[in-house]
Each structure stands twice: as C-alpha cells, then as structure tokens.
Structure 1
Amino acid sequence: MTALLVFVLVLIFSSKLVKFIENKINSKFNSEYVKYGFLSRYYLSSRFTDREFQEWCKYFLKNMHYRNLKNVSENFEGGISFISTNNKNPTYISTRLYQLKDSEKNKQKKNVDDSYKAIGRPEVQKFVGALVHDRVKSGVIITTGDFTKEAIEYVRSLSKDYLIVLIDGAALTKELRKIRKREITSRVASGLIG
C-alpha cells in the first residue's frame, strides 16, 4: 500500500515538474523567437497588440540604423508612429499591425502570404501628405500586411526629392533574418558563442 502511495505521489509530482519545465521552455523559446527574428508575419500579427508592435518596431528600426526615435502622439495626422532624426534630417515612420483577413478559407490556412490586409494608395497618400506639409523628405511605412499595387506605383511616381520606404510583412521578416545573422556573426566573432 505504501509503495502504491509513493508511486502515485511520484507520478503526480513528475507530471507537475514536466509541466513546469515545459512552460519554462516555451517561455524561453517565445522570448528568443521574438528577440532573434525567427518570426513569420503570422507570428507578429497574432502575438502583438498595436502598441506592442509599435514598440517592437523600435527594436527593428534601431537595427536598421534609425536613431533618436521619438514616439508621436497617437492622434497625429497622417498615421505617424515615430520620428527618427539622423543627422538632423527627420524621417517619419508609420507602423501598421494587420491580422489575417477574416474568412473561412483563411481560417484553415493560417500562414498564407496573400491573406493579409493591404495598405492602399489613399493611406499612403495621407502619409506622404503629412511629410509634404511638414517639409520632411523621407518616410517609412512598416506593416505586417501588404501594399496594393496602386500604393507601390504611387510611391514610385513621387519626385526623387522624397524617399519613401515601404516594408511589408514578407520584407519585414526577411530583414529580421539579416539582423539575426549579423547578431550571431558578431557574437561568434567576439567569442560569446561556440
């Protein structure tokens, strides 16, 4: 009887220990996943709130060599999230977190690249209008979604005086992989890994 009781207690304790270890591993994996760029746009769009995505974009932008990032009021006209001032030249930055389109077909295919909301020409024009109004010559729009063909053509048609960078979800995850590769290379070179 005592052996059976001990066996049951060991079984209960071991299952709780396994659950505890599993939670620790998942927590560590999730933090490493976000930190080091092993991300898909689905992961970004499903795990972050708008505010969290905006803060995460700060990390991304710093790694893309944007400096002096300052948050802008949420009700700022033109959808501006940050202003970066490199060499006293401001760059307006807009971040847009978009989820998968909500349809039965997309509920079954959760990681399909053409299933994200696209930023259209009117939204990009509003952003460019804020730049023109404030005499700012460069801007960046970052989204987990896509850009419509019309939005891309509009940016291409702008005067060469303006530099507008459009970063969609696919390009965002590609750049994250480059950042991660640089971080790993740097850590290996300084002897921190391997």
Structure 2
Amino acid sequence: MVKRKSKSEFINWFGPLLDALRELGFSGKPKEVSDKIAENLNLKEEFLDQTLKSGTNKFHNQVAWARQYLTWEGLLDSSVRGTWKLTEKGKNTYLNDEQSREIFLKWVAINQKARINKSKSEVIEEQEENDPDSVEIKAENSLLEILQSLSPSGFENVCKELLREHDFENVEVVGRSHDGGIDGYGVLEVNPFVSFKVIFQCKRYKCSVSRSQVGDFRNAMIGRAEKGIILTTGTFTREAEKEASRDGAPQIELVDGQKLVKMFEKVQLGVKERKVFDVDMAYFQKFKD
C-alpha cells in the first residue's frame, strides 16, 4: 500500500470522468470508465496498482467517489444500477479544476450536516478509505475482512461452496498438495451438450496478484482443464489482467475482492439481505433554495 500524498484526490477525476463517458457513448460500466480515464490521461501502472488499507484498488475507489459527487450534482443518472450514465445536463458539462472543487466543497458541507457527529475532515477521510456504497452503513467486520481472517484451507473450502452455489458441479478442493498452484477443480455445464472442466486457485490476499502469479497458474492449468479461475480477496495488477486475457493463451477468469463479495451476495451465501433506505440529499436540496 502506498501512503496517500494529499486528501480528496478524487476531485481530479470529476472532469475526466465526464469526458470518458462522452467517449463511451454517454454510458459505461465502472471498470470501462476507470480504464478509459487511465488511458486518456496516460496514468502510470504503479499509480493504478495502489491499494487502500482494505485492499481495495485506490484509483477505482477514487473514480467511484467522483461518480458519486457528480450524481449528487445531477450530472450522472443515479437510477441506472451497474451502469454509469450521463444526464442531459452532464452531456453538456465540462469541468475545470476550480469548478470541480466547488462541487466537492458544496457536497462535503451537505454531507457533514447530514452526519452530525462527523467533522469535515472525518467525512473526507471516510470517503477516501471506503467505497461510496459502504459509507452510510458499514459493518464492523466486512465480508472481505472476514474472508481474509479465515485459514488458507478455510478460504479454499468457502470458495468451493461459492462455486457450487453458482452452478458448478463436482467441485473439490485438492487439499494440502497444492498441485502446481491448483487449489481445486469442478465442472461447469453450459447446456446439456457442453460442459467445461475448470480449475481454480484461491488467494487470501490484502495485496495484489501479480502477472507472474497468473502466468504460473496458467502453466499449471495447461493440459488439465479448459478454464481457470483465480479468486482473491485482494486485487489484480494491470499487468496481471493483461496476462489473464493474453491472445494465444488459455484465458484465465479473475475474481477480485469486490467481485467476490458480489458473488456471495448474489446467492446469499454467508450473508443476510436487509432492505434499507438512504436519504437522497440531492432531491431535497432543491427545495432549500
């Protein structure tokens, strides 16, 4: 983890995020948008691979907060889940540094008033260390923290159950032999006529999985299965992502910590669903003027 140099770095991505969405046709998936910003600004790999204390990718988290502020400002549509979409106002808005900072200060003040026991600096620090969806209601022990606290064999076995819940069959953990980095295998039936043997590797990390680790896993997979999956509670470096999808080589599916949590939530494995309502501050703000 790299120590942050200054606070509120996510302000830097307000304008570039709007620009990226315009290039993507006014909407895009979160990862697409982050990658487009990184491409447009020619950001260095070492910066893009930085993580927070939680193991979350720092850059993607900052872009998610930039999106949250722009949503509050009415520049992005908050109703489209899983997709970031510009509003008509957002399509025609171009932000410089000063304008971005004005939006930031406006909504920090509003957030501070809504959270009586939080100072302005505490609100900012909370945002820098957590993703937007977790700030309002944050469990004392998050799912990722619990998964990271398991024993190596415990994490492998909970991943086995997770894959079973996601329609894999004959899922088994190899055990302590760790045959060439392979932790387990299973079968995924696409339809009654087509099925794939899949091997998987479990990495109970807070850091990032490297390119070489993906390459080593692929070497162990060749000749034994049609597909490979690496599941981690951490993240993957950009070079690891490129290696996983390299042309001419068997493709490796990568499941990072954030995707892993969503997989647990989708099948409600080890988690209980509860319905909560958050106040839409942007909606009520217009009635104060």
**Alignment TM class, shorter chain as reference:** 0.5 to 0.7
Name the SS for the 1:129 alignment partner: helix
| Among 153, 158, 161, the residue aligned to 1:51 | 153
User: Alpha carbon RMSD of aligned pairs, Å?
Assistant: 2.5
| Among 49, 60, 63, the residue aligned to 2:162 | 60
| Among 210, 233, 251, the residue aligned to 1:144 | 233
Count of residue pairs the alignment pairs up = 127
Given that 1:95 and 1:142 are in contact with CA atoms closer than 8 Å, whether structure 2 keeps it comes out as yes
| Among 211, 215, 228, the residue aligned to 1:121 | 211
Which residue in the other structure is 1:164 paired with?
252
Moved over 6 A (4+): none
Q: Counterpart amino acid of 1:89?
A: F
Q: Using the TM superposition, give the Cα deviation of residue 143 of structure 1 relative to its aligned residue in structure 2, in angstroms.
A: 0.8
Q: Using the TM superposition, give the Cα deviation of residue 135 of structure 1 relative to its aligned residue in structure 2, in angstroms.
A: 4.7
Distance 2:210 2:229 in 1: 15
Q: Counterpart amino acid of 2:255?
A: I
Which residue in the other structure is 1:13 paired with?
none
Distance 1:158 1:50 in 2: 32
Which residue in the other structure is 2:49 paired with?
none
- Relative to the length of structure 1, the TM-score reads 0.58
Distance 2:175 2:146 in 1: 27
Residue 97 to residue 156, structure 1, CA distance change in 2 (3 Å): same
Residue 42 to residue 165, structure 1, CA distance change in 2 (3 Å): same
Q: Using the TM superposition, give the Cα deviation of residue 156 of structure 1 relative to its aligned residue in structure 2, in angstroms.
A: 1.9
Q: Using the TM superposition, give the Cα deviation of residue 66 of structure 1 relative to its aligned residue in structure 2, in angstroms.
A: 1.1
Q: Choose 118-127 or 69-78, whichever is displaced more.
A: 69-78
Which residue in the other structure is 1:92 paired with?
199
- Relative to the length of structure 2, the TM-score reads 0.40
Given that 2:232 and 2:255 are in contact with CA atoms closer than 8 Å, whether structure 1 keeps it comes out as yes
Q: Counterpart amino acid of 2:203?
A: R
Name the SS for the 2:185 alignment partner: strand
Which structure has the higher relative contact order (CA within 8 Å, separation 6+)? 1
Instruction: Give the structure with the higher percent helix.
Output: 1
Q: Using the TM superposition, give the Cα deviation of residue 184 of structure 1 relative to its aligned residue in structure 2, in angstroms.
A: 8.3
Query: Larger radius of gyration, structure 1 or 2?
Result: 1
Given that 2:153 and 2:175 are in contact with CA atoms closer than 8 Å, whether structure 1 keeps it comes out as no
Residue 175 to residue 137, structure 1, CA distance change in 2 (3 Å): same
**Unmatched 5+ stretches in structure 2:** 1-140, 190-194, 274-289
Given that 2:156 and 2:173 are in contact with CA atoms closer than 8 Å, whether structure 1 keeps it comes out as no
Q: Using the TM superposition, give the Cα deviation of residue 67 of structure 1 relative to its aligned residue in structure 2, in angstroms.
A: 0.8
Given that 1:39 and 1:173 are in contact with CA atoms closer than 8 Å, whether structure 2 keeps it comes out as no
Residue identity (%): 26
Deviations along 1:17-70, one digit per CA (max 9) or x if unpaired, are: xxxxxxxxxxxxxxxxxxxxx952112112x11111111111111111111012
Name the SS for the 1:74 alignment partner: coil
**Unmatched 5+ stretches in structure 1:** 1-37, 99-115, 186-194
